[in-house]
Amino acid sequence: MLMNKNFFRRRKSCPFSSPSSPNINYKDIKLLQRYISERGKIIPSRITAVSSSKQRELSIAIKRGKGASPITLCIEIGFCNENSFIRAY
């Protein structure tokens, strides 16, 4: 297989490493849903370009969210908005 000499793979940057990035919180359903598949599994960092330390924080937040059930309800329903965490209880 021949590789093109002009091929340049751009390095992905972590979306949580900048100072203006959002904090990882298990109550922030919109943020966490970007990193969960349709089946409810955590998407790996090689696909999402999240750094290893932030991926650990993210996975803990997702697991806490599944335990508190706002994420699980959103996956089952297929639709979530900002008030879905409040309506879940």
CA 40, 46, 50, 52 dihedral sign is: positive
- Model confidence pLDDT, tens digit, residues 35-87: 988 888 899 999 999 999 999 999 999 888 887 765 665 665 555 655 544 44
pLDDT at 29: 84
Q: Do 52 and 45 contact (CB within 8 A), yes or no?
A: yes
pLDDT at 69: 65
Domain boundaries, the chain: 29-87
The contacts of residue 40 (CB under 8 Å, 6+ apart) are 66, 71, 72, 75
pLDDT at 87: 45
- Model confidence pLDDT, tens digit, residues 9-22: 777 889 998 889 99
What CATH number has the domain spanning 29-87?
4.10.640
End-to-end CA distance of the chain: 56
Residue 34 scores a pLDDT above 80: yes
Distance of CA 23 to the CA centre of its chain: 12
Regarding predicted confidence, which is higher, 28 or 69? 28
